[in-house]
Amino acid sequence: MDHTAVLARPGYAPSWRVYVRLAKLDIYDYYLATPLLLAMLLPGEPLGADGWAVLGLFLVGGVAMFAGLCSFDDVTGYRDGSDAANYGPDAPARRLARKPLITGALGEAQAVRFAWSAIAVQFACWGLALAVAPHRPWWAVTATGLCLFAGFQYSWWLRLSYRGWQEFLLAAYGWVFVLAPYGLVTGRADGFALVLGLVFGLGPLLFGVYSNVNDIAGDRAVGRRTVAVLAPPAGNALFVAALSLVEAALLVLPAQLGAAPRWFAALAVPVIVLRAGQFTLGLVAGSREILRARRLGIHTHRVCTALLIAACLLNGGAA
């Protein structure tokens, strides 16, 4: 099909499914913060209308943020050629379809308009969440504000992910999605709540770093400074191992220090085992199945979130 001709045809309007693919709505792992928040909050005092509003507005704003972020990321990747390198014509059709600019299903101007519309929705939702929140601790307000701007600038304007901030941002978005609304609803985030938020944020990072290994050639060609690009393979493997050990420590040590229930470490054993399997599959010599390791990382994050929710329910919330 001549996609250029299709886009030039008068009255042509892409299907809503094209925008779903552009927004990467099938990757919902950050949005799992909402069921986790419900498990952290509901076993305690009942939520008021303002608390429910904060959670709902943060979820809608978060979906809008990533719709804009992913759209801008695709436009940037389309312009600099990195997506063409990482999603070449030999990519499986289902994987290639996730890049509608490359397949020609969507025009660049349409993608940019959609991205700005999504970011406007995010600003409106999170601004309203701050306005109606029952509490406004300075750190929650600051984190929300920083995430508002660091979201769409992941690969647009400042292009933070190109300047060495990618790995930090992948975790920070998850931390903000849990801890900021929790703080706006309760006025605090310490002890077990802090542990839950930190563990949750590491999940997306620990499948993102495997994607970076797969994308080294394309990222290096356009100057995207990830650890996978900057470090030798052994150094990057040590970096990923260190992140995995940090997650394991957050799952094991808080119970020993009184910041989590004593049984929390035992509940988290499956996550540690899956993470070890992911590292072996993706980065141990003789295996190096990077994309399979990435998929296992996604499943591990979902298993981990389910166990965090179970821990909250068993504990009677995050307090």
3-state SS, the chain, equals CCHHHHHHCCCCCCCHHHHHHHHCCCCCHHHHHHHHHHHHHCCCCCCCHHHHHHHHHHHHHHHHHHHHHHHHHHHHHHHHCHHHHHCCCCCCHHHHCCCHHHHCCCCHHHHHHHHHHHHHHHHHHHHHHHHHCCCCCHHHHHHHHHHHHHHHCCCCCCCHHHCCCHHHHHHHHHHHHHHHHHHHHHCCCCCHHHHHHHHHHHHHHHHHHHHHHHCHHHHHHCCCCCHHHHCCHHHHHHHHHHHHHHHHHHHHHHHHHCCCCCCHHHHCHHHHHHHHHHHHHHHCCCCCCHHHHHHHHHHHHHHHHHHHHHHHHHHCCCC
pLDDT of residue 285: 74
Q: Give pLDDT, residue 319.
A: 82
pTM: 0.92
Using alpha carbons, list the distances in angstroms from residue 213 to 228, 242, 265: 6, 16, 30
Could you give the C-alpha distances from 57 to 45, 172, 181, 283, in angstroms and in order? 20, 19, 10, 39
Listed residue (148, 112, 116, 154) closest to 129, CA to CA: 148
Instruction: Flag residues of the chain having pLDDT under 70.
Output: 1-12, 88-95, 286-287
**Distance between CA atoms of 220 and 115, rounded to whole angstroms?**
25
> For residue 204, which of 18, 62, 54 has the smallest C-alpha distance?
62
CB count, 10 Å around CB of 63? 20
pLDDT tens across 23-50, in order? Answer: 999 999 999 999 999 999 999 888 999 9
* Overall size of the chain counted in residues: 319
> Which of 143, 125, 168, 174 lies closest to 27 in space, CA to CA?
174
pLDDT, residue 152, reads 94
Q: What is the pLDDT of residue 275?
A: 98
Task: Say which residues have a Cβ less than 8 Å from residue 232's Cβ, sequence separation at least 6.
Answer: none
> CA 223 to CA 297: how far, in whole Å?
26
Which one, of 175, 177, 180, lies nearest residue 198 by Cα?
A: 175
* 21 CB-contact burial (10 Å; exposed 0-12 / middle 13-18 / buried 19+): buried
Residue 269 has a pLDDT of 97
Asked if residue 166 lies in contact with residue 35, where contact means CB atoms within 8 angstroms, the answer is: no
pLDDT at residue 286 in the model? 66
Q: Tell me, what amino acid is at 288?
A: R
Per-residue CA distances from 104 to 22, 110, 189, 266 (Å) = 12, 12, 46, 49
Per-residue pLDDT at 83: 80
